[in-house]
Amino acid sequence: MEFSEMTAKIAGGNGFIAALDQSGGSTPKALKGYGIEEGAWSTEEEMFGLIHQMRARIISSPVFTGEKVLGAILFERTMDGEVNGVPTPQALIAKGVVPFIKVDKGLEDEVNGVQLMKPMPTLDALLERSKALGVFGTKERSVINSANAEGIAAVVRQQFEIGKQVLSHGMMPIVEPEVNIKSATRAECDQILLAELLKNLDELPEGQKVMLKLSLPIVPGTFDPLVTHPKVLRVVALSGGYERPEACVELAKNKGIIASFSRALLQDLRAQMSDAQFDAALGEAIDEIFKGSTQKADAAAAV
């Protein structure tokens, strides 16, 4: 796929984006969910080797195709690895799946109710390397824990600064200011975030677009103005801690928003499964998330 074909697929395709980008501190938790306990490795290298095996198994599964999975977000080590002897981004492209790369280096401590992204001094080099491997875009995450207008403005400002850096390399940024779904002020967070996103989108130069990855709003339809904004290529949703059935129900209430799920996609997969069991469980998850992404609930019933 050429860049223009990837753009068209992400903008208008029916399906969702798989998030296969657990990294650093979240890797042991992801492996435990997969049925591999912490004692199974003795070095960080072995740990990342095990998580790569899991991701390679997913990507090489016959049910994981571009028919329902539009894109996949990779951890840097996964991008640099191989699937069946082929560089991971090229293995995805061969299946009709558009590759993205997670570029953030984790979160700062909370200030003003939010956690900004840590500095990324080597981002330009990573972007150049990613693009050379055929990667289409990036994902960068920060977190909003409470309805602090100053904090949320800072999160969105930083997200768009990084987004512009990504755009300058001819790649597509997924801006991800995640609202903590356990926040006591979640509805207010959604409203402040919406206003800040619209402001920053309007300031983008003509012809430039970004993607948005957002927590599912507490009031369905809250993010409709983002879905239809001319400078937004696509709005995707994270599961944010919901179990898959609940995440898919909430997703179906929001027209035009597709999934970019991680844990909700992987939650039923186990290392001990036979290939047939693994493919069946993955196929069931893909079908359920695809349905939530493409078959939307009636607007009146959704509220």
d(CA 244, CA 250): 10
137-144/114-115 β-pairing: antiparallel
d(CA 93, CA 10): 13
Number of neighbours of residue 234 by Cβ within 10 angstroms: 24
Six token digits for residue 112: 């003003």
Q: What is the pLDDT of residues 105-150, one digit of tens each?
A: 999 999 999 999 999 999 999 999 999 999 999 999 999 999 999 9
Active-site residue list: 176, 213
Q: What is the pLDDT of residues 186-204, one digit of tens each?
A: 999 999 999 999 999 999 9
Domain boundaries, the chain: 3-302
Q: What is the pLDDT of residue 24?
A: 66
d(CA 37, CA 192): 40
Number of neighbours of residue 274 by Cβ within 10 angstroms: 8
Residue 253's contacts (CB-CB under 8 Å, 6 or more residues apart) are 216, 220, 221, 296, 297, 302, 303
Which of 4-13, 20-29, 140-149, 157-166 comes out lowest in average pLDDT?
Answer: 20-29
| pTM (predicted TM-score) | 0.95
**Contact at 8 Å (CB) between 242 and 217?**
no
**Which candidate, 218, 212, 199, 6, places its Cα nearest to that of 93?**
6
- Kindly report the backbone phi and psi dihedral angles of residue 263, in degrees, each rounded to the nearest multiple of 5, phi listed first: -60, -40
Q: What is the pLDDT of residues 26-81, one digit of tens each?
A: 788 889 989 999 889 999 899 999 999 999 999 999 999 999 999 999 999 999 99
Q: What DSSP element (H or E) covers 50?
A: helix 44-60
> Looking at the domain that runs over 3-302, which CATH code has it been given?
3.20.20.70
Q: What is the pLDDT of residue 15?
A: 97
Q: What is the pLDDT of residues 271-300, one digit of tens each?
A: 999 999 999 999 999 999 999 999 998 743
Q: What percent of the chain has pLDDT over 70?
A: 98
Q: What is the pLDDT of residue 97?
A: 98
What is the overall mean pLDDT for the chain? 95
